[in-house]
């Protein structure tokens, strides 16, 4: 049974990375429990708890998706060891999100079902949860063997569609302020771009990563601008111009989602440059096939 402990690797040895990841995914739940115990969740505690668990489910889902590209870009193979744990934590927070929603509606199943059917954002959110459940149930080594590697991979590639549904659910229920949804959508776009570079076999050199960061940051700013312009009637130029306020006022409080997405991408590029191995000079060879001595 020791092999099931989250801080142990597949060989049953203690893993500091797995232990740290397990501790970090518990932090949001512990904070929420503490705030509930001390009465800090406001006048609608159940509603606040529903929102917080849903938000963390989306955040952790993006962290889970980041494992594979970061493993390649940063040449950090051990990251794969925490991917399954992160994925199951996403399912746990998403299930908690639905459970708290049911509690908020006093387990009135007729009302709950009618709300999910009638409200589009609830329908797509519930669909995303069903998808996460399917991925969680089939995440074990035994299910991989039963399904076959190809079929298993086809199913788990749906995680990108599921993430898109979850982000749309998050954006639609946010209504007026879509700062966080815009940020998370931008980060998702950055991850998709990393995946695209890998599929197209484009080398993730530092210049390529910098270009990806700046391009995705700009796209995030444009999408945020379009959202506000189309849903609130606010001037698109005024919204886009707000991205320059951080320069005008020189205050980090004016950083917009596009800035944060670009900064995250630039940070990845910087770490990649720092970790990139230094190419060793090739030794010259003599005509008889014996390596010649180089240098003084």
* pLDDT one-digit tens code per residue, 88-135: 999 999 999 999 999 999 999 999 999 999 999 999 999 999 999 999
pLDDT at site 238: 75
**Residue 240 pLDDT class (50, 70, 90 cuts):** confident
CB atoms near residue 279 (< 10 Å): 6
The model's pTM is 0.88
Work out the burial of residue 24: count CB atoms within 10 Å of its CB; fewer than 13 is exposed, 13-18 middle, 19 or more buried: middle
How far is Cα 120 from Cα 123, in angstroms, rounded to an integer?
5
pLDDT at site 288: 53
Nearest Cα to Cα of residue 189 among 272, 73, 69, 85: 69
What pLDDT digit, counting tens, does each position of 1-43 carry?
Answer: 445 688 888 888 888 999 999 999 999 999 999 999 999 998 8
What pLDDT digit, counting tens, does each position of 123-163 carry?
Answer: 999 999 999 999 999 998 899 999 998 999 999 999 999 99
- Residue partners of 29: CB distance under 8 A and separation at least 6: 53, 93, 96
What percentage of the chain has pLDDT greater than the value 70? 91
Rg (CA), the chain: 23
CB atoms near residue 126 (< 10 Å): 20
């Amino acid at each position: 049974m020791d092999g099931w402990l989250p801080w142990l690797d597949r060989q049953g040895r203690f893993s500091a990375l797995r232990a740290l990841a397990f501790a970090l995914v518990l932090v949001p739940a512990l904070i929420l429990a503490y705030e509930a115990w001390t009465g800090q969740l406001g006048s609608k505690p159940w509603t606040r708890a529903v929102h917080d668990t849903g938000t963390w489910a989306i955040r952790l889902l993006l962290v889970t998706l980041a494992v594979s590209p970061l493993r390649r870009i940063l040449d950090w193979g051990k990251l794969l060891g925490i991917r399954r744990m992160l994925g199951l934590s996403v399912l746990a927070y998403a299930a908690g999100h639905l459970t708290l929603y049911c509690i908020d509606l006093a387990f009135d199943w007729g009302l709950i079902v009618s709300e999910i059917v009638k409200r589009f954002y609830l329908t797509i959110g519930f669909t995303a949860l069903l998808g996460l459940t399917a991925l969680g149930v089939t995440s074990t080594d035994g299910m991989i063997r039963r399904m076959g590697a190809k079929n298993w991979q086809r199913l788990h590639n749906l995680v990108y569609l599921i993430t898109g549904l979850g982000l749309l659910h998050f954006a639609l229920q946010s209504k007026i302020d879509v700062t966080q949804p815009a940020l998370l959508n931008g980060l998702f776009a950055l991850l998709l771009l990393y995946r695209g570079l890998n599929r197209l076999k484009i080398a993730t050199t530092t210049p390529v990563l910098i270009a990806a960061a700046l391009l995705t940051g700009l796209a995030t700013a444009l999408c945020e601008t379009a959202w506000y312009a189309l849903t609130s009637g606010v001037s698109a130029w005024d919204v886009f111009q707000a991205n320059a306020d951080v320069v005008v006022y020189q205050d980090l409080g004016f950083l917009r989602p596009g800035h944060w997405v670009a900064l995250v991408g630039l940070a990845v590029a910087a770490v990649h440059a720092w970790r990139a191995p230094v190419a060793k000079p090739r030794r010259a060879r003599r005509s008889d096939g014996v390596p010649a001595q180089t240098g003084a």
